[in-house]
Chains A and B, each alone.
Chain A
């Protein structure tokens, strides 16, 4: 699958997918999108990189790090990073729910408020975005863990 056509396509498409994914995630509360959709699209972008290049491309080619090939896949640095990501996501999700308790609301209650920003004017920010961020991280971390481990087989 690592043909030149595939690689060139991936080079162009991946950044676009990532930008779309982030915009879908951010606009989710008011327009189609959200944490899950944004997350899965991000996963798609990363998977495209794996298919076109390899699991270690991000480590070696982009981050310019050494890769220890003797390690088991479970301890691979990329995989541990993904594991950390979904743990972080779970903490954020639960934490955003617990935060509601501090305000005397039931677990997982959400709220929203209006803020004034220069250039943007009045912007409505809902606390649900934090919860959604957690979901985003869980989806990205969880699915990429599965794919990188399965893909390495």
Chain B
């Protein structure tokens, strides 16, 4: 069955419309605007739900001349992602309505949250490279706004900026990668930006990319983009920083949805890029992140930090799964995407409850919470055991399939490929460890300093409880969930038919042995948790110099220092300095442009020059010399006026009446402006410094030379007639523009967009002058 375009458009568009209304609405209804968000999310969720079972691409043109369209593709993977985003969205909005009680700027908060939900739904269904990129970047921007929610807090701003730099930097890689893909698709005869068609004709596009040596660059670029978004090694460090955001944001963006965009994108393009290079890059990256994330989670001292590193580790698991070539790969990836969204969102919401009710997020300060928070404890038990991958919980099934994928890859590859299962087991042992540690917050002894823990309000407990029921449901009846959506999702990323088998194993095999080792070692090591953590802390401290976040801070600091040093020279507050740099860089760019494109120096063509023209230009040259040796402003401006008027006369002689008129009028205006300010200027110039004069003279010569060369390049050959462009404008002016003044027709008709832009420049200049002059006093008094 074909999906319905309007349903998708409403599901994606409604959150954006609602986001625009939220600030107004929050003024009217106050904090209850959270329930409005929940209602919007419910509508989107319902609309996406109606599309289950459909498959296909629908489109409506957007930029037809470039074959860009609002194209949406519906299949199992898109539906799974869309349902998770909107479904968890409902719970998050409901939770936030209580959690964010008494917080400032709720209008902005919910606006960004709604816009984010719309963007993530857009990413899920987008089947056009341009649209996909736009929604992808929108998720980064909304994430930035939400991480920086506490605008007055320096650490919040630092983290928001870090997330922005990493994810948007990755977004730039994605842009280049998608453009490479688009070029290849166009060469292959598939619509340039049509992702659905590209994936359908994957072999042709791939052949073109391989022929032109673009395959590996495109693969690397897309993978880097996904790695930045999904917090993979070495770009994982923004994710723990993002935990300064309010907990609903962490649960929604930084565990369940936004960080999965990278995983999702890799799942999408897997059929196009699959192969040995794909496995070598993607599976290795994922496995590495899985191990590093799990180790860092054990190190964490804050419960949200623990969950953040654990999220990075699980994202690594999914990416590694999609990286494997066997059909178990996409099965594990899609199934774990689903399971992880449920249990990790629940755990984040639990972390919010703990912070709210116990007043601390420090792991060492918390314990025995089951007495104060019995329902929360039950939720945590289900979610953490699923996270640990213990049978019969849902996380076990998907992890077992990953083990099968790693095992099969190792058997097929042999040698170094055995590192995959080894790393998987190693990382999973740590996963069991930190999962048990999180559960221990509720089971262990209550530390003396921890005060009374209040029972959490119903509206805070209900959303994670719903998620925990979901986890329990998938644990008990995995086949129902698989049949409903997960199977379809996996087959969208797979090349061969998939059949997800979620059962408790009864026979011993390689992967089963891996599970046994993992769980056994995890439980055996848990009593020594603090010793393990102490050893890891020492290693962590010793390697501080090579941590990615140290590198990030170093690069940022160096950039900061460089720009400060440069701006001390460029940004002096003196107009002459600005003019100097402006002219120098313009000339440099122009010359660089000529040097890179021109085939040689142009030769001046000698044509007959009328005597009048020689005379006029001669006077202009004399005036120019007079300007530079003028002793006062008055003589300087007047001689400059002579120069200007001579140029105007030259335009008349060269039959450019419009240019001449403009030149005359502007020249007159300049004189008048000068009259306005003449009383404020000193009567004579001060003493000149030798160095400055030489520098300015050199620049003047450079500007003159550049202008001269530009004129030579631009000038047509002596005997050639009108250029093609000129011919077209001249012949089309009367029949198409209805005017005989070609210049004016070009300005108002053919190239009216340029004129519009220029008029906006005038407005901006006027506003800037107005603001600068009226705000000047205000700045000084503050």
Contacts and interface: CB of A to CB of B under 8 A. Distances in A.
A99 to B, nearest CB: 12
Interface string B733-744: 000011111011
B766 A124 contact: no
B676 A151 contact: yes
B281 interface: no
Most A C-beta atoms less than 10 A away, residue of B677, B738, B753: B738
A150 B101 CA distance: 50
A34 B756 contact: no
Q: What secondary structure prevails in chain A residues at the interface with B?
A: helix
B766 A141 contact: yes
Interface string B747-762: 1110011011001101
Contact of A83 (B680, B747, B752, B770): B770
A82 to B, nearest CB: 8
Contacts of A107: 753
Given A47-B673, A74-B770, A108-B752, A139 B762 contact: yes
Closest 7 CB pairs of A and B: A112-B738, A74-B774, A29-B739, A128-B748, A142-B766, A142-B762, A32-B657
Interface of B: 657-658, 660-662, 665-666, 668-669, 672-673, 675-680, 737-741, 743-745, 747-749, 752-753, 755-756, 759-760, 762-763, 765-766, 769-770, 773-774
A134 B748 CA distance: 10
Contacts of A4: none
Given A110-B738, A146-B766, A146-B770, 6 more contacts: A31-B741, A32-B741, A34-B744, A35-B747, A93-B756, A135-B755
Classify the secondary structure of B's interface with A.
helix
Contacts of A33: 658, 661, 741, 744
A13 B745 CA distance: 30
Contacts of B745: 29, 128
A2 to B, nearest CB: 11
Nearest to B775: A74
A82 B738 CA distance: 32
Nearest to A136: B759
A22 interface: no
Interface of A: 1, 24, 28-37, 40-41, 43-44, 47-48, 50-51, 72-74, 79, 82-83, 86, 89-90, 93-94, 97, 107-112, 124, 126, 128, 131-132, 134-135, 138-139, 141-143, 145-147, 149-151, 153
Contacts of B738: 29, 110-112, 124, 126, 128
A34 B762 contact: no
A139 to B, nearest CB: 6
Contact of B737 (A83, A126, A135): A126
B70 to A, nearest CB: 18
A30 B740 CA distance: 4
B748 A37 contact: no
A47 B762 CA distance: 17
Contacts of B774: 72-74, 149
Nearest to A34: B744
Contacts of B661: 24, 32-33, 37
B769 A145 contact: yes
A129 B770 CA distance: 29
Given A30-B740, A31-B740, A128-B745, A79 B752 contact: no
B675 A51 contact: yes
25 contacts: A29-B739, A30-B739, A31-B741, A32-B658, A34-B743, A41-B665, A47-B669, A47-B676, A51-B676, A74-B774, A83-B766, A83-B770, A107-B753, A108-B753, A110-B752, A112-B738, A126-B738, A126-B739, A138-B759, A142-B759, A147-B673, A149-B769, A149-B770, A150-B677, A150-B773
